[in-house]
């Protein structure tokens, strides 16, 4: 039985590697008579050694399972649901071993605590890492709970455990045809020790893992019941809107019409904040109208202001700087002697590529609710991908200890890396300051215009390539330099003489058998607030590499698909995947060729190896009124092993949409230190009528489980660009394609 004396936010110590019965530790909020299990798993030794906190506490991930008397199941997950389907997948995994229908699960994000640390001594939802990092842990929790329920049934029915079996949600004694629901046994099971050894199900007996289980959140999202951060309400709260300085580094120095704005409907108060002004009001619309009416004088901050944007900064200037910055940079991938092989090559091909800054463009604008409590604690409701990181940052902003901050993590209305902890790109410090100033809870929502002004952007990318061919047109050498800054180094720190993997991923460690190669990172600091964007460096680097690969193939008079197959002869996993996407598309044909509707079309192909998965992509394009039309995209994906093929297909479809949107349309342009787009009218995203048909084939190679949310994106831009090049003879080295006017091919 639960003593109901312990707050679930309080940290506990769990033995690593096996489940622990938490039912008698007294969790506040746990149901009376429930069976509550926790498990703590260490991360690999090499990761622990790299963690800053490794000397104090071992990085771990914990999951807490609660089986209630009404036969429902609550799973407190270390990960945040943001549309990627992680809640459903975890319910499938636990339910498989527990023998409980995933439909009976409620999954919620666990609060901050050291028992949930997973990634380098931290915890975050991202990197397509959630399911693959917790798969074995969740299976062990489910199997242990099932065994404890069986033991409780033995005591109740007075029969040998070998005579009992389970079926979804209940235990059966076949000889007497008696059944007992899990919920009826939960209180008794809660008094038992956790078994030290359990047997996991054989894959051939899986009932839910590997099946397209319907998503747990589908109905609530479809009927409008799903609650996001911007939907939350707290008793007694006021609402706030902000006007940010047009350029980072400016501060408000004067308000011309402050008295007039204070008299506007619903206005409670006006506040100066770092780099912004805010209006607090009874309703958000009143706050927004008032803050937009404010006439603010902005002045330069004192010298040395952090993250100040130069007044002469522009996208064109940034690209010119990247282009002019020489190598050789920091080596990230070397084999043979690329310089010597290039010097003796029969033919050398050189090219440079670039990709623009990109916004996240999520549909839910950023928001936060802050409430100061009488005991000096602080409650924060805010969309986030890393509860512990936000807890520590909020404590610093509030000037209190981290344990006095309670983070509530709502469902994310899209994220793709947007809800990581970035300087000046999150509204929670503003909410904390305003709530303290007015002595009431405050909810702040950034308007779309303010979000575009302060979003953390995918960094601009620039890369230069040289490739060497022998007399037979086969690649013998490749040299590549990725120029710029990556978000991993920005937010997790740099190591001297070590390339930032987020700057070179998608260029380094490609599987093709090119005997001599050198890939390097040339670091050039970015004055922008850069962040993680779906598939991170792969989102642009695979475009750079895979389009240059086609240029090499053309220079050597090789078919790009066949050349890839030849260079993957010793990589059976990759070769099988490339053959699979060729088969899925009805057989490789490059074109140009005439389609059934009379249009001239061509196809492009690309490979990518993002986040532990392998992907092969083919795209078919035509031109219409000088713009690119993409008709079909075929994707073969090998994530090693799978949990839910329905979620995989949905994630690939959404990744194709975002990858195509970035290839065709998206671009953040800076001039005079200010982004020119402040809403979707100036930052177009892919409209529904330009979405192609997407065909997905899942190939299970048996390799270690890889990621799903991001891998479908990186192959799309190069596949489309290679198809356009095949159709027009015009090489694409800069994105987006909307910058280029193509001749109509009919």
pLDDT tens column, 369-424: 999 999 999 999 999 999 999 999 999 999 999 999 999 999 999 888 999 999 89
Q: Which residues of the chain have pLDDT under 50?
A: 1-17, 24-30, 39-63
The Cα 457–Cα 356 span in angstroms is 10
Is-contact 108 29, C-beta < 8 A?
no
End-to-end CA distance of the chain: 74
| HSE-CB of 739 using CA atoms within 13 angstroms | 14
Helix axes 182-189, 130-157, angle to 10 degrees: 90
The pLDDT tens digits for 588-626 are 999 999 999 999 999 999 999 999 999 999 999 999 989
Of 539, 536, 526, nearest to 659 by C-alpha is: 539
For residue 553, the model assigns a pLDDT of: 98
For residue 745, the model assigns a pLDDT of: 57
Is-contact 40 15, C-beta < 8 A?
yes
For residue 615, the model assigns a pLDDT of: 98
| HSE-CB of 316 using CA atoms within 13 angstroms | 4
For residue 743, the model assigns a pLDDT of: 75
């Amino acid at each position: 039985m639960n003593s109901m004396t312990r707050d679930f936010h309080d940290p506990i110590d769990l033995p690593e590697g096996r489940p622990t019965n938490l039912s008698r530790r007294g969790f506040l909020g746990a149901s009376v008579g429930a069976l509550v299990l926790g498990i703590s798993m260490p991360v690999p030794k090499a990761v622990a050694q790299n963690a800053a906190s490794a000397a104090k506490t071992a990085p771990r991930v914990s999951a807490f399972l609660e089986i209630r008397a009404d036969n429902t199941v609550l799973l407190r997950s270390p990960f945040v649901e943001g549309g990627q389907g992680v809640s459903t997948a975890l319910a499938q995994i636990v339910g498989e071993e527990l023998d409980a229908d995933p439909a009976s699960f409620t999954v919620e994000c666990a609060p901050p605590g050291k028992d949930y640390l997973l990634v380098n001594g931290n915890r975050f939802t991202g990197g397509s890492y959630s399911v693959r990092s917790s798969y074995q842990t969740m299976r062990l929790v489910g199997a242990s709970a099932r065994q404890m329920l069986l033991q409780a049934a033995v005591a109740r029915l007075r029969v040998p455990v070998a005579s009992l079996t389970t079926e979804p949600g209940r235990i059966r004694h076949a000889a007497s045809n008696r059944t007992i629901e899990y919920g009826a046994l939960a209180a008794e099971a809660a008094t038992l020790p956790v078994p030290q050894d359990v047997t996991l199900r054989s894959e051939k007996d899986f009932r839910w893992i590997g099946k397209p289980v319907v998503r747990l959140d589908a109905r609530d999202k479809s009927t409008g019941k799903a609650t996001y951060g911007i939907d939350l309400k707290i008793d007694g709260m006021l609402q706030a809107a902000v006007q940010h300085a047009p350029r980072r580094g400016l501060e408000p120095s004067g308000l011309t019409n402050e008295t007039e704005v204070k008299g506007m409907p619903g206005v409670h108060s006006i506040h100066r904040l770092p780099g912004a002004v805010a209006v607090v009001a009874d309703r958000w619309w009143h706050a927004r109208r008032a803050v937009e009416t404010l006439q603010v004088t902005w002045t330069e901050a004192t010298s040395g202001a952090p993250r100040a944007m130069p007044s002469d900064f522009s996208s064109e200037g940034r690209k010119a700087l990247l282009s002019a910055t020489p190598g050789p940079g920091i080596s990230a991938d070397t084999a043979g002697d690329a310089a010597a092989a290039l010097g003796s090559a029969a033919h050398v091909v050189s090219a440079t590529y670039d990709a623009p800054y990109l916004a996240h463009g999520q549909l839910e604008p950023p928001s936060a609710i802050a409430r100061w409590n009488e005991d000096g604690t602080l409650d924060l409701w805010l969309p986030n991908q890393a509860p512990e990181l936000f807890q520590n940052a909020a404590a610093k902003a509030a000037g209190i200890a981290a344990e006095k901050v309670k983070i509530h993590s709502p469902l994310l209305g899209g994220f793709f890396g947007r809800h990581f902890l970035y300087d000046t790109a999150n509204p929670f410090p503003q909410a904390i300051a305003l709530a303290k100033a007015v002595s009431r809870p405050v909810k702040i929502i950034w308007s779309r215009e303010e979000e575009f002004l302060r979003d953390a952007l995918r960094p601009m990318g620039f890369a230069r390539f040289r490739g060497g061919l022998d007399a037979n047109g086969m690649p013998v050498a490749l040299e590549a330099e990725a120029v710029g800054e990556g978000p991993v180094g920005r937010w997790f720190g740099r190591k001297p003489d070590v390339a930032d993997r987020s700057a070179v991923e998608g260029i380094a460690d490609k599987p093709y058998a090119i005997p001599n190669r050198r890939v390097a990172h040339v670091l050039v600091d970015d004055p922008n607030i850069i962040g993680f964007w779906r598939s991170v460096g792969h989102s642009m680097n695979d475009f750079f590499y895979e389009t240059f690969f086609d240029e090499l193939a053309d220079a050597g008079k090789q078919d790009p698909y066949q050349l890839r197959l030849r260079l993957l002869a010793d990589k059976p996993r990759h070769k099988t995947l490339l053959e699979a996407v060729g088969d899925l598309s009805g057989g490789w044909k490059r074109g140009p060729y005439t389609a059934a509707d009379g249009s001239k079309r061509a196809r492009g192909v690309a490979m990518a190896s993002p986040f532990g998965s392998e992907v092969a992509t083919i795209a078919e394009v035509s031109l219409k009124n000088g713009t690119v039309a993409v008709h079909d995209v075929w994707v073969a994906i090998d994530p090693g092993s799978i949990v839910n093929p329905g979620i995989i297909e949905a994630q690939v479809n959404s990744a194709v949409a975002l990858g195509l949107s970035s290839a065709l349309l998206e671009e953040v342009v800076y001039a005079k230190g200010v982004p020119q787009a402040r809403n979707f009218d100036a930052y177009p995203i892919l409209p529904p009528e330009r979405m192609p048909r997407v065909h997905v084939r899942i190939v299970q190679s048996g390799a270690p489980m890889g990621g799903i949310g991001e891998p479908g994106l990186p192959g799309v831009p190069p596949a489309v660009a290679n198809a356009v090049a095949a159709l027009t003879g015009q090489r694409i080295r800069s994105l987006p394609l909307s910058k280029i006017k193509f001749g109509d091919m009919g």
